[in-house]
Amino acid sequence: MNFRTYNEPKLKTATQQIKPMKNLTPILIAALTLSMSSVRAGDVKEIYEKSCTKCHGADGKGDTKMGKKVNVKDLTDAKVQAEFTDEQAFKTIKEGKKDKEDKILMKPIEGATDEEIKALVAHSRAFKK
């Protein structure tokens, strides 16, 4: 015999109460992973300003004293951007660049993670007009 009245809510079992949480778990894990592994836009701009603007300039044109000295290419030029792949840019940022006489044209970036270097590559691609 059922003594419950129409106004009383039906009680859920413990399993029924936990089920909605199970559905959220993968979403929460994915969100946490992305937030921990991705580099924020502000961080990339700060790294670029600290490590790259002396030669490449804030606008990516390379129109700086050092940029002219080492013949930095204009990253706003679509033709220049087409001359290199993301992988080549990543390698250059990570390892630096030397000329044929083994003279350093670009020092390797210090203390940057692979994720930060990938973000710098994307940042440099954003200069293209």
pLDDT tens by residue, 73-93:
999 999 999 999 999 999 999
Inside any domain, residue 81: yes
Inside any domain, residue 19: no
The CATH number of residue 78's host domain is: 1.10.760
> Model confidence at 39, in pLDDT bands (50, 70, 90)?
low
**pLDDT at position 129:** 79
Inside any domain, residue 28: no
**Ramachandran class of 111: left when φ > 0, alpha when ψ lies in -120 to 50, beta otherwise:** left
Inside any domain, residue 109: yes
Inside any domain, residue 9: no
**pLDDT at position 27:** 72
The domain tally of the chain equals 1
Q: Is a pLDDT exceeding 80 seen at residue 41?
A: no
Could you tell me the residue range of the domain that residue 97 belongs to? 39-125
CB-based burial label for 73 (10 Å; 0-12, 13-18, 19+):
middle
Inside any domain, residue 102: yes
Inside any domain, residue 5: no
- Name the pTM for this structure: 0.68
**Residue found under tokens 């990339």:** 44
Inside any domain, residue 89: yes
Whether the CB-CB separation of 45 and 126 falls below 8 Å is answered with no
Q: Is a pLDDT exceeding 90 seen at residue 13?
A: no
